[in-house]
Amino acid sequence: MHDSGRHVITEEDRVDCQNIEMFLVTTKEAYDKLISLSAPDWFVADKMLLRNTFHRTLTLLAFDVDTVTDLMRIFKVLEMENRLVSQVSQRRIITEGDVTVDKDLSRALSHTCCPNRAPVFIGEGVVLGHGTR
């Protein structure tokens, strides 16, 4: 116990936590169970998009994203960063079929969100970003 009255997690405490089944997870089969830090192949969905994407695909900590955010300091102390889906996943966008960019719509959207900037078109109708007017 620290002088402030707070418990300080020591290295010994952290090691002890490795085998305690204290993390409630939802499995691919949609049932809940307790699991330890030493158990492989379970993750913490720290973003709503990732939770929605990987629900019932991965074994995930059974807390909502707001609760996960509140617990982030504990996860860092327990060195759980390698379980955060945002840290171990990569975003890849795959476009299939014929794709065309509507220049008028691109300009309208650019003007709506960024009225002081003009869209920058690269190549045939591809909007890369915004330039200054």
Same domain membership, residue 25 and residue 71: yes
**Structural domain count of the chain:** 2
Which tokens belong to 96? Answer: 């299939």
Same domain membership, residue 42 and residue 80: yes
Amino acid in position 126: V
CA distance 95 to 70: 36
Same domain membership, residue 75 and residue 110: no
What pLDDT is attached to residue 133? 41
pLDDT tens-digit map of 101-123: 777 777 777 666 555 555 544 44
Q: Model's pTM, two decimal places?
A: 0.63
Same domain membership, residue 107 and residue 72: no
Which tokens belong to 118? Answer: 């003009």
pLDDT tens-digit map of 77-101: 889 999 999 999 887 777 777 777 7
Domain span holding position 112:
103-132
Instruction: Indicate if the alpha-carbon torsion angle 31, 36, 42, 48 is positive or negative.
Output: positive
What pLDDT is attached to residue 124? 47
Task: For the chain, count helices (H), then strands (E).
Answer: 6, 5
